[in-house]
Copies of this chain bind each other. A is one copy, B any other.
Amino acid sequence: EELEGDDPYFTSYGHFSIHEEMLKDRVRTESYRDFIYGNPVVFKDKVVLDVGCGTGILSMFAAQAGARHVYAVDMADIIYQAMDIARENNLDDKITFIKGKLEDITLPVEKVEIIISEWMGYFLLFESMLDSVLFARAKYLKHDGVVYPDRCNISLAAISDPDMHTAHVTYWENVYGFQMSCMKTCVVREASVEVVKPERVVTDTCVIKDLDVCTCGLADLQFTANFCLTVTRNTTITAFIGYFDVFFHKSAEQKVYFSTGPHATPTHWKQTVFLLDQPMQCSKGDTIEGVLTCRKNRKDPRSLIITFSFDGKTFTYNME
């Protein structure tokens, strides 16, 4: 099954088409919908804050599910459309839109009981809005309030895809007759975002981060994790991949979960690929033990620097 909105021939450069792409990511949007509609008890008569509301779809789900009032915040101009949309659906008395950076605005209420947000970026944390969600949680959430999704984890696996390696790495050895081998390192060091076919995965998977969104702090978003991957067949490993899972579990009768992993329906987050400089021969049963670090780039806090250390070597990747 393919992502419905994922038309490979459509270049999404516009301002509105980005929102179209996100709405059309059904795994994403239907997970929020199914959780909210499936748990009216959670939302009934509650005051809800939607961080980064975009077109307001999550706010409307919450209003529809019986929320007393929803405060929807976004700094982007799309919030003007969200206002129109709420009016069009007769929900403008239930949703108050506030344009601005969450850190700069003041809500007209002191506390909210639920925070909903779709803040996730590539590899969960790249260009993510989680910092703003944590700010909102600290400032506005009641002590027994809940942030949804309430839990996210990041997983790692390794893949064998020699064609991908050739296309992005070997390619530079002969570009229209010229050598561009210095580009190999440049391209390898940039993590890429691609849909990986499940049959390319040649190890088990390893959770490297388990984030409780209701309790975690900013410090948890930069971390060091041990990983151990067991190779499932004789193969040549060409890349690590990272992906994340999202959970709507806390206080829920109808628990909802979705994965952005290679074995699940592709989402607009795809998977994050960390190419190896050199493919690595492995035998079934081998283990790859190492340490991963993930930290923000000080020069640009929305970008990430990720390192993999194993076999006495360290490889650094940028997402920027």
Task: Give chain A's interface residues, CB within 8 Å of chain B.
Answer: 6-11, 13-17, 19-20, 23-24, 29-30, 33, 55, 57, 60-61, 64, 81, 84-85, 88-89, 122, 167-168, 171, 175-183, 186-187, 190-195, 266, 270, 320
Contacts and interface: CB of A to CB of B under 8 A. Distances in A.
Nearest to A15: B190
- Return the 7 tightest CB-CB contacts between A and B, nearest first: A8-B8, A9-B195, A14-B190, A11-B193, A84-B182, A16-B186, A88-B179
Contacts of A60: 178
B84 A175 contact: no
Copies of this chain, count: 2
Nearest to A269: B11
Nearest to A13: B193
Contacts of A16: 183, 186-187, 190
A8 B6 contact: yes
A30 B176 CA distance: 8
Contacts of A29: 176
A57 B180 CA distance: 10
A52 to B, nearest CB: 17
Contacts of A30: 176
A192 B64 CA distance: 33
Given A6-B8, A81-B186, A15 B179 contact: no
Given A9-B266, A16-B186, A61-B176, 6 more contacts: A7-B194, A9-B194, A13-B122, A20-B168, A57-B178, A84-B182
Contacts of A6: 8
B11 A183 contact: no
Which among A6, A33, A55 has the highest number of chain B CB atoms within 10 Å?
A55
A200 B64 CA distance: 41
B176 A33 contact: yes
Contact of A192 (B14, B122, B192): B14
Given A179-B88, A182-B88, A187 B17 contact: yes
A168 B13 CA distance: 14
B194 A57 contact: no
Nearest to A29: B176
A247 B190 CA distance: 35
Contacts of A178: 57, 60, 85, 88-89
B190 A11 contact: no
Contact of A55 (B85, B167, B168, B180): B180
Nearest to A195: B9
A175 B320 contact: no
Contacts of A81: 180, 182-183, 186
A98 to B, nearest CB: 19
